[in-house]
Structure 1
Amino acid sequence: MAGKHQRKMLRLMGSGEPVRLAVTMATMKKLTRLAFIAQQFGYAYENLQQTGQGGSVLSLVPDPDPQARALAGENRERYPHAAEGGPLPPLVPESLEILKARMVLDLRRQHSAKARMVLILVPLTLGSLTLGLEFGEDVASGLTIAGVFWAATAALLCAMFAASRRYNARYTARLQAAGFTPVTDHNGRSRYVPPGGRLPGHGNPFAG
């Protein structure tokens, strides 16, 4: 049975227009399943962005590919009540893995490396100073506490970044093995598109 976000997404897709679905506190598993269901009814995954405070926006566009349209027609006949919470097409693990790889890489490349550093270091520095001044007996001890906390947190973040790079390499290899090719979008971000596919704004016939 379809959840509320799936029902809303399918209803929006009924317009035949590009869809931007706002989802709050959703796991990557849920977001991947939403994109997969959209593919079963004639839409293609376009992008995934974080909006802050646990929010995400999943962007979908109509897929003009004849095979995609044929599959959508078949599924509309087989699952006529999908948008009302009825049965949905079965999940395909291989397709889910491909979607997850694309979506994870899109999220992690939403901001440039420089922007990510600013977004992390500024709050970290301010938080460290606040903590140090709160618990230090004087300014000198407060700065010492702040420095120790800053260094420890920065070391942890470096380890997390290293792990993230390893995961990125694994997802990239997974997409390349499936025939996906890297392209650069209008923001200078590296994205992966299906064999023969293009991003909206780069000659895509369904760019909205």
Structure 2
Amino acid sequence: MSTGQVRTMVSLMAQGAPVEVTNSWATVSKLARLAHLGEQFGYQYADARYVNRGTQLLLLPDPQPQAYQRAQHAWAQFPQAATGGPVPPLPTHAPELLKAQINFDLTGRHNEKRRILAVIPITVIVLIQLMRDGGDSAVFWIPFWALAMCLAVGMVFYSRKRHTTHEAQLQQAGYVQVPDPTGRVHYVPAGSSLAAQGTPAGGPQPGPYPGPGQIPPQQHPYAQPSYPQQAQAPYQQQPYGQQSHAPYQQPQAPQQPYGQQPQPPQQF
């Protein structure tokens, strides 16, 4: 994760909007360190998934008072991070449970299709080689194809085992299940805002994404709600965590459910 990417992420967090970070070569450890940095600026980890350009991390504003206090402290240390000044370094380590959350989301069954589909081009290549070279090449290509199939199946079972291990780790730590609108299940801390507004197993249906109005006005992280953002509207607010303590003004439009923003989160 380059300094430029960290600077871009911090600039987006200064607006109080959802942030998507996409990296082609990011490991789980690097993603966890990046999410841990976001927590210092009042954000919380929400999701990780594989996309065409690599691995994508989703961070959402955390409306809880303790998150606002962390953001105040971080902006006091790096007041110009969003405007070209020094940016915070990535944490050396991230909490193990944060890594477990990311691992759980990346090893879910929704990713098995990617591994299974990977054998299709291999099969096509083998068939083309057999048709071109005839039976003489079968001695090489058929064992190669069989090995590729075994590796693909083995990776599926290995991924399922890791998924189960991380699920048990999160359950033991008291994390709760929260499904998103696509049906994917995530584990979040029991006291987090995502648990409060989501649907833990057997619990109530998800409500709207927790907006600033759910925080006492004296601890309000934004002077006016910046989520969702208005298209092409110049941003006039101070960085998240450095807002004045003016009473919260009710937004004109209702907030959308978690994971169903009216506009896609900003990416970089």
- Which TM bucket (shorter chain)? 0.7 to 0.9
Name 1:16's counterpart in structure 2.
Answer: 16
> Which residue, out of 210, 232, 252, partners 1:205?
210
Name 1:157's counterpart in structure 2.
Answer: 152
- Percent of counterpart pairs with the same letter? 34
Cα offset for 1:64?
0.5
Cα offset for 1:46?
1.5
Name 1:100's counterpart in structure 2.
Answer: 99
Residues 151 and 202 (structure 1), Cα distance of their counterparts in 2 relative to 1, 3 Å cut: same
CA distance in 2, matches of 1:141, 1:49: 43
TM-score, length basis structure 2: 0.64
Partners of 2:101 and 2:170 within 8 A in 1:
yes
SS at match of 1:64: coil
Higher helix share: 1
Matched, 1:191 2:186: yes
Partners of 1:105 and 1:168 within 8 A in 2:
yes
Name 1:170's counterpart in structure 2.
Answer: 165
Deviations 1:68-109 (A, max 9, x none): 11111122213334443344585554x2x2222111221222
Name 1:85's counterpart in structure 2.
Answer: 86
| Structure 2 runs not aligned, ≥5 long | 200-204, 212-257, 262-268
| Structure 1 runs not aligned, ≥5 long | none
Residues 81 and 29 (structure 1), Cα distance of their counterparts in 2 relative to 1, 3 Å cut: farther
Counterpart amino acid of 1:205?
A: P
SS at match of 1:111: helix
Cα offset for 1:10?
0.4
CA distance in 2, matches of 1:144, 1:165: 33
Partners of 2:7 and 2:87 within 8 A in 1:
no
Partners of 1:48 and 1:57 within 8 A in 2:
yes
Cα offset for 1:50?
1.9
Name 2:128's counterpart in structure 1.
Answer: 130
Give the CA RMSD over aligned residues.
Answer: 2.8
Q: Which has the higher relative contact order, 1 or 2, with Cα contacts under 8 A spaced 6 or more apart?
A: 2
Cα offset for 1:32?
1.5
| Number of equivalences | 200
TM-score, length basis structure 1: 0.80
Residues 89 and 40 (structure 1), Cα distance of their counterparts in 2 relative to 1, 3 Å cut: farther
SS at match of 2:186: strand
CA distance in 1, matches of 2:198, 2:159: 25
Pick which of 34-43 and 97-106 moved more.
Answer: 97-106
